Amino acid sequence: MKGWNSRPEPGQLAGADNLQDLVDRLSELIGNSITVESASFELIVYSRHAGDADTARRLTILQKRVPQPIIKALTESGMLEILNASPRPVRLSSLATVGLSDRVAMPIRVGNGIRAYFWVQETERRLTDDDFATLEQAASLAAVHLVRMDQQKETRHRLITDLLWELLANPAVDVDAIRHRASRLGIELPAAYRVAVADVDDFRTLVRTEKLDEYAIDRIKREIAAALQDKALRSGLLCLSTRYSDNIVLIVGLASGRGEGANVPPFSEAARRAAADKGIQLSVAESGVRHHIAEAGDAYREAERCLEVGRAFGWSNFGISSDRLGVLQFLPDLAGSSGSGTAVHAKLASLFDAESSGGLAFALAETLETYLDCGCNAQRAAERLFVHPNTLYYRLRRIVERTGLDLSDGIERLAVHLELKLRRVHLSSPLKR
């Protein structure tokens, strides 16, 4: 193994063109395999040194991040706390139960925080004090490369964000220009796709109670977006994402050659579960399938309408597509054009008469809506309202007496049901379920 029995000459590491080059040179100098992993344990680069790889190294390279059992073992053993507090390399004992052999680790600090770590697998030879000094030198150089990589990534992210928002927000988008910019950025635009809007439930409450700073907030959003993209990719879908306020916007679809006339499977429920795995409660709404990229703006507005309807209906932590909502997705448009929000249906209007409104009127309206939601199944409606079936039947009689509604008339049931949903959207005060 070249050079590991003597300290490197000045400039031998400093001449590295990038982080990968630096890691390969360092691996040659100290004679062992190396990985560089972020502070959140995502794999950044690994050396090309072909020594014996233990289970931890193999899994980390395959999964592109350190497996959770290894992170847990490092944390519970106290090794991670020792490493994070050390300004110098730390020799860590093996953890055979998770496939981790002897290692030397070195924090890579940027400013006052740890940006990443060197992990040196000590299988070829045991590191000396000179090797420790080499690792310290390499950590300083790696910090420079990581800052440069972050800057490049941020520039690319900004260009992608600008591209996506022009696609989503510009009603007169130049498709040829968009495709040209996407090609220059190495982005494949889907041939068939859905647009999904994901909203973190009670995000502002989370921020306030956890007293998070702007960096921590941005990190949470990036982690959620990354989790959703990873879920899409694992499902064989292309995924482009951007962020707007507290929302994450996704274009999820099929690659060219697979998407012409094809159906894109719903993604909203899978996205919700992927976020839940990260401990984040997410509500996701998505558009129907589109086959022309110029329709992305319409699909985005459709997804936003569906999200608004879900919120108005009092749902939380939901995944829903316009395929399921159907005509209900247009309730926000109807609410905006209905003026004061008073009932249009003459019979239903009497239920919301200002002179008779109050606790009883509220209970009757909630009962009627829930009864219709349950397909006029009295048993299910009573269970959802947490009342005895006799109470439900009593309320239904009061409703019919007060309004004159004929609940056996399908058209009248449909009109009243839509009216109740419209009031939810207009008043933005969903009835408690």
Minimum mean pLDDT among 16-30, 256-270, 289-303, 327-341: which range?
Answer: 327-341
Band (pLDDT 50/70/90 cuts) for residue 46 is very high
| Structural contact between residues 34 and 118, judged by C-beta atoms closer than 8 angstroms | yes
Residue 87 has pLDDT above 50, yes or no: yes
Give the residue among 226, 246, 249, 243 at the shortest CA–CA distance from 297. 249
The residue-averaged pLDDT of 320-343 equals 73
Q: Tell me: the pLDDT tens digits for 365-409?
A: 889 989 998 999 999 999 999 999 999 999 999 888 888 888 888
Helices (H) and strands (E) in the chain, counts: 17, 10
**What is the strand order of the sheet 43-46 is part of?**
43-46, 33-38, 113-121, 103-110, 90-92
As a whole number of angstroms, the longest Cα–Cα distance in the chain is: 96
Q: Tell me: the pLDDT tens digits for 153-199?
A: 889 889 999 999 999 998 888 999 999 999 999 999 998 999 999 98
Give the residue among 206, 227, 228, 233 at the shortest CA–CA distance from 217. 206
Q: What is the bridge-based pairing of β-strands 247-254 and 43-46?
A: unpaired
Residue 343 has pLDDT above 60, yes or no: no
Give the residue among 148, 157, 169, 276 at the shortest CA–CA distance from 222. 157
- The domains of the chain, with CATH numbers, are 19-144 (3.30.450.40), 188-329 (3.30.70.270), 338-427 (1.10.10.2840)
Contacts 24+ apart (CB under 8 A), 91-94: 91/122, 91/127
CA dist., res. 26 & res. 23, Å (int)? 5
What's the pLDDT at 4?
46
DSSP secondary structure string for all residues of 331-377 = HHHHHHHSTT----SHHHHGGG-GGG-SHHHHHHHHHHHHHHHTTT-
Percent of the chain with pLDDT over 70: 85
Residue 10 has pLDDT above 80, yes or no: no
Q: Tell me: the pLDDT tens digits for 222-238?
A: 888 888 988 998 888 99
Higher pLDDT, 308 or 7: 308
What's the pLDDT at 350?
73
What's the pLDDT at 430?
39
Please give the model's pTM, rounded to 2 decimal places.
Answer: 0.65
The residue-averaged pLDDT of 62-91 equals 92
Average pLDDT in the chain? 84
CA dist., res. 425 & res. 329, Å (int)? 11
CA dist., res. 218 & res. 214, Å (int)? 6
What's the pLDDT at 359?
55
